[in-house]
Structure 1
Amino acid sequence: MKKSAVTFLLSAVALTACSTGTTTTSSSTPAAAEKTVGTVAWSPCTDLIGPDGKPFTPGPGVECGKIQVPLDHAKPGGEKIDLALIRVKATGDRLGSLVFNFGGPGGSGVDTMALATQSFANLGKRYDLVSFDPRGVDRSSGVKCGGEIEKLLAAGVDDDVDRMAKEFARACERDSGKVLPHVGTVQAAKDLDLLRAALGDDELNYFGLSYGTQLGGVYATQYPGKVGRFVLDAALDPTVTFEERALTQAAGFAHAFKAFAEDCVAKSCELGDDPAAAQRAVETLLDGLKTKPIKVGNRELTYGLAQLAVITPLYAKASWPLLERASAAAIKGDGTALLTLSDLYTGRRADGTYSTMMTSLQAINCADTAERPTVAETARISDKIRKIFPILAIEGSITACAHWPVPGDDAAKHVDATGSAPIVVIGGKGDPATPYKWAPELTRQLKTGVLVTYEGEGHGAYLSGNACVRSTVDAYLTEGKVPAAGTTCAA
């Protein structure tokens, strides 16, 4: 992004995390591909990575595996790539498999599922909980770009980030040129159907969160007859433009930041005696980092990294105290906690290496839209963002996909699941990353969607722990009870 490490990532992450599809659509998985995918050989997981960037061993009942899928779905008999899988075996009377995509795009479903088992324990009584690294992510031919992503993350306001972004794109083409033309939401949806077949299920039962709602919507459009019980939580509207997406999310994060400050002051806040003062304290901290980063060991907390660090806790109310403590420490000169939060966002591991989270996100987002905003367009959008939520404003004038070596298209902007079973769509009134207005829109576009509204804060309603949301979703997934239209869960 522009002139700070974070600006490049914010345009790719926070501002375009809901982009659209990729190539051709199809009403069925090519028979040749489905015949060759076979079943999954499950075995103990050996390479899981936790949120602290360190390896960990999962609990009982967790297994890993893989299937082979076509690199190019137009050539089902051609070159194959591995799709990495994870399964948590059902602990009770098994209904089948429930496949998860936790969002991103670019996040590892394998690592996340291993950590999230207890969050879905009730569903795990009846289903094998299954997730995967989508194509282009980590173990599934993850997009690699040399060390260029670290250079972008470490960039300061005086660096030539336009040049760095060009070098980043060239490195991605050099290191992952084979897979770049074949990533994206439509291709991942085709993989989903091969996964369904490999699991032995006639229909796909699916739980998508955030970007996972986009993937689920595209799957339901391609394979309406294969839709089983579908939940799409923290819904995206696939039709929005880059500008609409950016401004809507800026408003969502502005709301969350204000709510954070009010909550902080209500509990005795280190950042100020009133909400406006608490907000100003964080904004002033970030402004100072533009010219004077904070040293943290042999690293620096730059303005860009601090932007990402502040955004990260705003996703969930439970993590708001982290933002208070980390910001207060940085104001006193200790940037360790904020740097740790930014590392969590960017996938930096304990050994200093990175997962493919950021590079995969870039590849999928750029494949999933034909939009390539110009420098002038990006600057204009950033000026509008600055008036809504300055912390998300982009410093500089490069767009995330401006130099990308592979063209994108808008195939997945069309979502229509006519003929499918009912699909439960959940929107949160206080969701900063996928604002509520997108949930009714996705419900309408699907034609078979049933909207559930959550009136509380945070990104994703089910993981908020709200009893109403949980009971509504659990009853649908385990008993087939479709929620009444207009169901609302209070905070």
Structure 2
Amino acid sequence: MSTHIRAAALAAGALALVAVAGCGTGPKDEPRPEGLAGQRLDWSACEAPTTAQGGGGTAPGKGWECATMKAPLDHAEPDGETIDVALIRKQATDKDKRIGSLLYNFGGPGGSGVATLPLAAADYEKLNSRYDLVSFDPRGVGESATVHCVDDREMDEVTAAKEGLPDTAAEEKRFLAEQRAYVQACEENSGKLLPHLTTEETARDMDLMRQVLGDDKLHYFGISYGTELGGVYAHLFPENVGRAVLDAVVDPTKGTVENAVAQTKGFQHALESYLESAGEDPERGTQELAGLLEGLDTQPLSTASGREVTRNLALTGVASALYSEETWPYLSKALQEARSGTGDTLLLLADVYNSRDPQGRYGNQQAAGAAIRCADSSERFTLADVKKHLPVYEKESPVFGEMLAWGLPSCNGWPATGERATPEVGAKGAAPMLVIGNTGDPATPVEGAERMSKALGEGVGVTLTVRGEGHGTYGVNDCATRTVDAYLLDGKVPADGKTCA
């Protein structure tokens, strides 16, 4: 399950003033053709987000500018074919105290930064005083070398999964055949792109952005999958790391199975916290929800639109609402409706998660996310693997476990295979990077932050732990927000191990 797009609870440990950017040696630029390294971006007023970017909105308005950057399709062949990378920015309001660009990735993988940054910008108004706020559609995402797999009608079928999860040998065979058909559709429609949609290639795009934007150091704010991207960038370009924040951290030490088990536990923990807040017994509430969802395999919920809410759509809606305490009231409304046999609010939550607009048009977030994950990872899983791990998943959560376990074979047959099971993020020599974990995070459990800090290396990863709920802390937790602001704006690195309540 991917990220919640919202970028955006006092603490032990004094703030230490250290220089984290803009001093020492200059940037280490990769050899790049002058046509790429010296390109000038043609910034102009932004248009409304496209369907691929998620659509459903208006142009971001005054102050926002968009541009397209050329990048190599394959950074190993910088003189070869190029792709277009879509960018957006809002220039710093205090020109005299401007630090540089602050580049955002909001996660996914597969989320459009061009569509998301203006929606989240109110949280970053203080940072905008001294930074140009900049984001982009990573390669394969939105309007950057867009991945396309199936059409909207077929995506409705994929997200609904009307036949449910397999219970018999025949259903298992059919389930795996449908997964293979989806992979084949991706290859038929986007085959040339698929080997080049790795996190490492995107990190190299980011360093080209740094150079084209005129920054000696890359100042960066990564959320969820964006933390993995930030770690990979730091590994590749430690000398070029400026002030970098990693919030809601993906554990870089765990492979597919371990990460999915951790997510299962994380979502179950968030569900229990929600149930407690609603005055329900977590164990009984979990069992009742599991029973309700299981019943949807044979009797889906009706909606005013005529679409049915299957078990898969309902579970997606529940997971979507657990990403933030702010959406828990919607989950209460959705479950109340579901007990009465209707699923309108669950469907709305699922559609937001799946990037489906009211006209039935899908953004490409799901296709791009699959393409990036499968290009990155060397791991491939069989039916036997699913059956081996299924009991562990189900033990961790009777609500989320089964669905996450059956996601294991989704990269089988993918035409691009990664070199490793886990990303390389060691960044010896990089400036201190602020790494934030939230104890109630459903999607990226808090332990990932500590492991990311350790993997980045001594003196590089600086851990901040937030005791709260939800996926991401900036703009949600006052203590964390103040700590990040002090770091990004004034260069104050907190003591490693600081805690915010």
Same fold (TM over 0.5): yes
Matched, 1:279 2:286: yes
Q: Is the 8 A contact 1:71 1:78 kept in 2?
A: yes
Aligned pair 1:141/2:149, yes or no? no
Separation in structure 2 between the aligned mates of residue 397 and residue 190 of structure 1, nearest angstrom: 29
Partner of 2:92: 90
Cα drift, residue 126 of structure 1: 1.1
Cα distance in 2 between the residues matched to 1:119 and 1:197: 27
Map Cα deviations across residues 25-45 of structure 1 (whole Å, 9 max, x no partner): xx8533226744512211111
1:221 aligns with 2:222: no
Paired position in structure 1 for 2:430: 420
For residue 171 of structure 1, the aligned residue among 185, 189, 210 is 185
For residues 364-385 of structure 1, what are the alpha-carbon distances to aligned partners after superposition, in whole Å with 9 as ceiling and x for unaligned? 0001110001111122222211
Q: Which moved more, 1:121-130 or 1:90-99?
A: 90-99
Counterpart CA distance in 1 for 2:147 and 2:407 is 25
Which residue, 211, 215, 219 being the options, matches 1:205?
219
- TM-score under structure 1 length normalisation: 0.89
Q: Which of 486, 490, 495 is equivalent to 1:475?
A: 486
Structure 1 residues 285-328: Cα deviation after superposition (integer angstroms, max 9, x where no partner): 21111111123233211111111111111111111111111111
Partner SS state of residue 438, structure 2: strand
**Cα distance 1:252–1:46, how it changes in 2: closer, same or farther (>3 A)?**
same
1:150 matches 2:156: yes
Residue-by-residue CA offset, 1:341-390 (whole Å, 9 max, x unaligned): 11111111222111110000000000111000111112222221111112
- Tell me the residue number matched to 1:103: 107
The superposition leaves residues 78-110 of structure 1 with CA deviations (integer Å, 9 ceiling, x where unpaired) of 111100011022222322110000011001111
Superposed displacement of residue 144, structure 1: 0.2
Tell me how far apart the structure 1 counterparts of residues 50 and 313 of structure 2 sit (CA, whole Å).
22
Could you tell me whether the CA contact under 8 Å between 1:375 and 1:397 is conserved in 2?
A: no
Q: Which deviates further from its counterpart, 363-372 or 381-390?
A: 381-390
Question: Residue type matched to 2:396 in 1?
Answer: I
The corresponding residue for 1:359 is 367
Superposition pairs of residues 249-288 of structure 1, within 5 angstroms: 249-265=263-279, 274-288=281-295
Aligned Cα root-mean-square deviation (Å): 2.0
Q: Which moved more, 1:409-418 or 1:340-349?
A: 409-418
On the 8 A contact 1:37/1:69 being kept in 2, the answer is no
Which 4+ runs in 1 deviate beyond 6 A?
Answer: none
Please say if residues 113 and 136 of structure 2, whose CA atoms lie closer than 8 Å, have aligned partners that are also in contact: yes
% same residue = 44
Cα 1:358–1:373 change in 2 (3 A) is same
Match of 1:40 in 2: 41
Instruction: Output aligned runs, 1:354-433, within 5 Å.
Output: 354-394=362-402, 399-410=409-420, 413-433=423-443
Any gaps of 5 or more consecutive residues in structure 1?
1-9, 15-26, 266-272
**Who is 1:326 aligned against?**
334
For 2:80 and 2:414, locate their aligned partners in 1 and report how far apart those are by CA, in whole Å.
26
Candidates 71, 75, 80, aligned match of 1:78: 80
Give the aligned residue type for 1:389: S
Residues 106 and 357 in structure 1, CA contact (< 8 A), matched pair in contact too: yes
> Is the 2:325–2:470 Cα contact (8 Å) retained in structure 1?
yes
2:473 corresponds in structure 1 to 461
The 1-side partners of 2:407 and 2:124 are apart by 42
Give 1:198 shift.
1.2
- Aligned residues, how many? 459
SS at match of 2:249: coil
Contact 2:101 2:131 in 1 (8 A): yes
- Tell me how far apart the structure 2 counterparts of residues 429 and 275 of structure 1 sit (CA, whole Å): 18
Q: Is the contact between residue 42 and residue 68 of structure 2 (CA under 8 Å) also seen in structure 1?
A: yes
Is residue 380–residue 412 contact of structure 2 (8 Å, CA) maintained in 1? yes
Task: Note if contact 1:49-1:56 (Cα within 8 Å) is conserved in structure 2.
Answer: no
Q: Deviations over 1:410-459 (max 9, x none)?
A: 28622111111111111111111111111111101101111111111111
Q: Which amino acid in 2 is paired with 1:406? A: A
**Judging changes above 3 Å, is the alpha-carbon distance between structure 1 residues 298 and 409 closer, same or farther for their aligned structure 2 residues?**
farther
